[in-house]
Amino acid sequence: DGGITQSPKYLFRKEGQNVTLSCEQNLNHDAMYWYRQDPGQGLRLIYYSQIVNDFQKGDIAEGYSVSREKKESFPLTVTSAQKNPTAFYLCASRLNSDNEQFFGPGTRLTVL
Amino acid sequence: DAKTTQPPSMDCAEGRAANLPCNHSTISGNEYVYWYRQIHSQGPQYIIHGLKNNETNEMASLIITEDRKSSTLILPHATLRDTAVYYCIVRVAGTGGFKTIFGAGTRLFVKA
pLDDT in tens, A84-102: 999 999 999 998 777 888 9
CB-CB under 8 Å, B45 with A103: yes
Look at residue B86 and give its three-state secondary structure: strand
Q: Count Cβ–Cβ pairs < 8 Å, chain A vs chain B.
A: 57
Apex B45 CA angle, B82 and A49, nearest 5? 160
Q: Which helix (H) or strand (E) holds B43?
A: none
A104 near A24, Cβ under 8 Å? no
Q: Does A76 touch chain B (CB under 8 A)?
A: no
Query: What was the pLDDT predicted at B93?
Result: 58
* Band of pLDDT at residue B104, cut at 50, 70 and 90: confident
Q: B80-91 as b/e, with b when 16 or more CB fall inside 10 Å?
A: eebbbbbbbbbb
Query: What was the pLDDT predicted at B99?
Result: 73
Q: Does B34 touch chain A (CB under 8 A)?
A: yes
Kindly tell me if the per-residue pLDDT of B61 is higher than 70: yes
Apex B105 CA angle, B85 and B38, nearest 5? 30
pLDDT digits (tens, 9 = 90+) for B1-21: 558 999 999 999 999 999 999
CB-CB under 8 Å, B104 with A41: yes
Query: What was the pLDDT predicted at A91?
Result: 97
- Order of all β-strands in the sheet with A76-78: A4-7, A19-25, A76-78, A64-66
Higher pLDDT, residue A99 or B39: B39
Q: Which of B20, B34, B23 is nearest to B76 (CA)?
A: B20
Higher pLDDT, residue B90 or A72: A72
Return the percentage of chain A with pLDDT > 90, whole number.
78
Number of other CB atoms surrounding residue B47 within 10 Å: 20
The closest CB to that of B97, out of A31, A104, A108, belongs to: A31
- Minimal-distance CA residue of chain B relative to A6: B43
- Minimal-distance CA residue of chain B relative to A5: B43
Residue among A5, A47, A52, A97 with most chain B CBs within 10 A, to mutate: A97
B20 near B27, Cβ under 8 Å? no
Give chain A's mean pLDDT.
92
Contacts of residue B52, defined as CB under 8 A and 6 or more positions apart, other chains included, come to B64, B68
Q: Does B5 touch chain A (CB under 8 A)?
A: no
Number of other CB atoms surrounding residue A22 within 10 Å: 16
